[in-house]
Amino acid sequence: MQKRKFLSFVSLLVFVLLLSAGSALAAENVLKLGVLFPLTGPCATAGQRCVAAVETAAEVINNKHPELDVPLAKQEGILKGMKIQLVVADTQGKPDVAKSEAERLLNQEGVYAIIGSYNSSASKPASAVTERAKKLFMCGCSSSAALTERDFKYFFRLAPTDKTESKEFVEYIEWLNKNQKAGIKTIGLIYENTEFGKHAADEGKAAAKAAGFEVVADVAFNPGATNLNSEVQTLKAKNPDAVFGACLGGDYTLWVRTMKQMNWLPKVALNYCTGYQDPKIAQQLAADGNFFMGGTGYSPEIGAKYMKKVAAVEKIYSKKVGVPFDSDSIQEAVALFILAQAIEKAGTLDVDKVAEVIRTTTFDSPLSLGGKVAFGPGGQNMKATSIITQLHDGKYVPVYPPSYAETKATVPMTPWDKR
């Protein structure tokens, strides 16, 4: 009996060794890429969607997909058959963990580049690691403008920054005053007190002041708050005409519901892209979410009209997570497509040559609003675009710029008691 157990154990061991040897042999012509996102902690859902988006892009690149009209879909792999292998790591949403995992991915796993890391506060130290090691960091959706103000040579970010979104918000308010006689003179800010929220609020404040608006309320709250009564009470007391919000996920829902409870609304409520643009929020808020606005880089409705090639790719993605792409996750898929296209164009894995291609090329990007990607100083995507949408029965309906507008925005928002 003992002997049989021992033999079974040895057989199992040999089998496992053979399997690993097999995978090592098969792994010869692969390019390992690090995928570094928050997979646990408060941003876990968003992080898992980002990973699924990168996996979707890898699946499209690694296999022949003649039915898809996106770059690299019709061939198998890059550089004549090299397959992309993803090594997934968890930042837990913490900067120190992001930094140590970036080091592990580079030094232990030997990845060629890293894609990540959703939270700006995690992307910063993780990309400092890649920059020191002269490796590429492709950042999809971290929005802090500071990320691309560091003069890094190997860092590239796809999404619009909170600085560009702030300018767009102010531009839109001026447009509303002119074209819809909105009469907006004062601005209030509500934001989570984090790297993302604080940075967005600072940019919003600066843009509003520069355009001559008076900032009458500046309200910070701790992310994951269970109660926003005092914060909304402060807003209500100052009664700003427009509110810029930098609230994520559950905080956004709580903010809207607390305003309903207190029977108060500004004329316009604009939220930064990350947070507002989460399909689950629209579902949770249902009719209460009506007339709230924000920056949007992608929604299925926008995709159907302006990014028609996304739908087929989205099918692969939706099978993994059960929801369509959102503005954040789609940027992470774009990050991998751009990196793969750059390697293919450079014809080599030499990091400096690939970085040079990324810096100097205007890429076709069917998964980006506008269809193009081109990087400027600091590695910021100069073609990054987001449009302003308004929620109408759970749908993100474009309202600005006029070239994208599908309807006239409901401004001022319909008061709670008249809905």
Partner 1 sequence: MVRNMKTRKLETKDFIWIGLIGILAALPLVPGLIGNSFRAHVLILILLYASMAQSWNIVSGYAGQVSFGHSVFFGIGAYGAGMAVVTYGLTPWPGLLAGAVLAALVSLLISYPCFKLKGHYFAIATFAIVEIFNRLFMVWDWVGGALGLDYPILPDGWKNFVWSETKVGFYYGALGLFILIFGVVRWIETHRLGYYLRAVREGQETAESLGVNSSAVKLSAMAFSAFLAALCGGFFVQYNYRVDPPMVMSLDMSMKFVLITILGGVGNFWGPLLGAAILVPLQEYSRAYLTSLGSGVDLIIFGIIIMLMMIRQPKGIMGILQDLGIKTGQRKPEREEN
Stretch that binds partner 1, among 61-69, 125-133, 350-358, 373-381 (CB under 8 A): 125-133
Does 289 bind partner 1 (CB under 8 A)? Our answer is: no
Cα gap 7→11, rounded to integer Å: 6
**Using the rule CB under 8 A, which residue among 83, 198, 257, 359 binds partner 1?**
198
**Using the rule CB under 8 A, which residue among 30, 79, 211, 220 binds partner 1?**
220
Nearer residue to partner 1 within complex by CB, 99 or 163: 99
Does 197 bind partner 1 (CB under 8 A)? Our answer is: yes
**Using the rule CB under 8 A, which residue among 85, 177, 180, 193 binds partner 1?**
193
- Angstrom CA distances, 3 to 8, 9, 15, 306, stand at 9, 10, 18, 68
Cα gap 224→235, rounded to integer Å: 19
Closest contact distance (angstroms) between CB of 85 and partner 1 is 12
Does 99 bind partner 1 (CB under 8 A)? Our answer is: yes
Nearer residue to partner 1 within complex by CB, 98 or 235: 98
Nearer residue to partner 1 within complex by CB, 224 or 415: 224
Amino acid at 358: I
- Which positions ≥6 away from 370 have C-beta within 8 Å? 383, 385
- Take residue 129 and report the two structure tokens written for it: 């690691």
Does 234 bind partner 1 (CB under 8 A)? Our answer is: no
Contact between 91 and 43 (Cβ < 8 Å): no
Burial track 394-411 (b if 16+ CB lie within 10 A, e otherwise):
eebbbbbeeebbeeebbb
Nearer residue to partner 1 within complex by CB, 104 or 260: 104
Contact between 332 and 115 (Cβ < 8 Å): yes
- Angstrom CA distances, 409 to 223, 296, 398, 414, stand at 29, 15, 9, 11
- Secondary structure of residue 100 in the 3-state scheme: helix
**Using the rule CB under 8 A, which residue among 59, 76, 79, 146 binds partner 1?**
146
Q: H/E/C letters for each residue in 27-52? A: HHHEEEEEEEECCCCCCHHHHHHHHH
Stretch that binds partner 1, among 55-63, 189-197, 273-281, 378-386 (CB under 8 A): 189-197
Nearer residue to partner 1 within complex by CB, 197 or 295: 197
Burial track 199-221 (b if 16+ CB lie within 10 A, e otherwise):
bbbbbbbebbeeeebebbbbbeb
**Using the rule CB under 8 A, which residue among 100, 180, 234, 290 binds partner 1?**
100
Does 49 bind partner 1 (CB under 8 A)? Our answer is: no
Q: Which of 351, 341, 353 is nearest to 79 (CA)?
A: 341
- Secondary structure of residue 194 in the 3-state scheme: coil
Closest contact distance (angstroms) between CB of 280 and partner 1 is 16
Closest contact distance (angstroms) between CB of 17 and partner 1 is 18
Does 75 bind partner 1 (CB under 8 A)? Our answer is: no
Nearer residue to partner 1 within complex by CB, 103 or 288: 103
Closest contact distance (angstroms) between CB of 99 and partner 1 is 5
Does 39 bind partner 1 (CB under 8 A)? Our answer is: yes
Closest contact distance (angstroms) between CB of 389 and partner 1 is 27
The shares of helix, strand and coil residues in the chain, as percent rounded to the nearest 5, are: 50, 20, 35
Contact between 195 and 144 (Cβ < 8 Å): yes
Does 95 bind partner 1 (CB under 8 A)? Our answer is: yes
Give the residues lining the site for partner 1 (CB under 8 A). 39-40, 44, 48, 88-90, 92, 94-97, 99-101, 103-104, 107-108, 121, 124-125, 128-129, 131-133, 146, 150, 193-195, 197-199, 220, 222
